[in-house]
Amino acid sequence: MDTIQHSSPHTALVTGATSGIGREVTLQLADAGWRVIAVGRDQQALAELGRVSELISPRAADLLEGDLAGLVPEQLDALVHAAGISPDTGVEHTDTEDWSRVLTLNVTAGAQLARHALPALRRAHGTIVFLNSGAGTAARPRNAVYAASKHALRALANGLRVEEEGNGVRVSSVYPGPTDTPMFTGHVDRSELIQPASVAAAVLTAITAGPDVQLTDIHVRPRRELSW
């Protein structure tokens, strides 16, 4: 891949930007001098992000509906799909509507944003990062629905990578273990959980890797494996 030169800062689009890992990715990219389109639903959290840095452009959007194409700017160097939901029900108690919500947000929204972003990313030889999960490689009974969506996201990333390798677009998956975010509700000592900033640093590594490589799968695990 050739290095692309821009007269303005690099631009990233980050979903799930108002909390957890997505928020940390937004802050770290802005701190590195990137312009960040921060997408989320929490208006107050978006406003707070906008006050942190003039490089952060908050965009209120519901990824379950609405115009996803309108979120994508003409110039884009990185897309990070960090938005996601994890239902607290097993297969027996998850109805069709809930399955649809989980798969739409965790997988389809990321796929559609990638589709709309591909022309800009091809011009920039940019990078797509899908925030996956340890559940994307090993399902457990308590999170079968979430794991199913993350297995699908893994397949999306692997397939898209092959489709786009001739166009210069890199596709990475980041698989965090148990992370100290509102989504994690396991009964453990939370001081032993991974910090969102550590996962965000892995995302930035994938985005800023040298032009000769792509980091396809990054697993971020706690120093001590946890069970709950």
Q: Rounded to 5 degrees, what angle do the CA atoms 46, 62, 190 make?
A: 60
pLDDT tens-digit profile of 16-39? Answer: 999 999 999 999 999 999 999 999
- CA proximity to 10, closest of 62, 79, 103: 79
Report the alpha-carbon distance of residue 174 to residue 216 in Å, rounded.
8
pLDDT, position 224: 85
Number of Cα atoms under 13 Å in the Cβ half of residue 60: 8
pLDDT, position 143: 86
Amino acid at position 191, single letter: S
DSSP string, 66-89: S-SGGG--SS-SEEEE------S-
Query: Given pLDDT bands bounded at 50, 70 and 90, which one contains residue 142?
Result: confident
Residue 40, both tokens:
């989320």
User: What is the CATH architecture of 11-220?
Assistant: 3-Layer(aba) Sandwich (3.40)
Ordered by start, the domain boundaries in the chain are 11-220
Report the alpha-carbon distance of residue 92 to residue 130 in Å, rounded.
28
Catalytic positions, please?
Answer: 146
Dihedral sign, CA of 170, 103, 177, 44?
Answer: positive
